């Protein structure tokens, strides 16, 4: 991705709670990164909400081990095209139901 487009996306990027995403909607993943939080390391996905707006979403902690370094490299270099799909919350455990599907 060229520098001007990355800078423009940074300008239009918003952090959102996972629960604020629409249920059963495909959000194209534009980038992924591991970050250190004060509790534990975490995965943050940048997903495209509209053609002009990118949202940053923290994945549930159980997904940290699911993403290998190679997976993150593939997502960030656009070798694979994936979509994040939010499925809602479990009524019993309040756990977020999330899946990642091929485009």
Do the Cβ atoms of 87 and 98 come closer than 8 Å?
yes
pTM over 0.85: no
pLDDT in tens, the chain (103 residues): 566 666 665 565 678 889 899 999 999 999 999 988 888 888 999 999 888 888 999 998 888 888 888 889 999 998 889 999 999 999 999 999 999 998 7
Whose CA is closest to 80, among 92, 70, 90, 88? 70
């Amino acid at each position: 991705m060229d520098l001007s487009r990355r800078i423009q996306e940074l300008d239009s990027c918003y952090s959102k709670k996972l629960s604020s995403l629409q249920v059963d909607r495909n959000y194209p993943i534009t980038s992924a990164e591991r970050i250190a939080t004060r509790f534990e390391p975490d995965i943050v996905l940048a997903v495209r909400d509209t053609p002009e707006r990118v949202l940053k979403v923290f994945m549930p902690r159980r997904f940290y081990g699911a993403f290998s370094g190679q997976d993150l490299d593939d997502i960030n270099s656009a070798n694979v095209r994936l979509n994040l799909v939010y499925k809602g919350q479990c009524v019993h455990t309040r756990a977020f139901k999330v899946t990642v599907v091929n485009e």
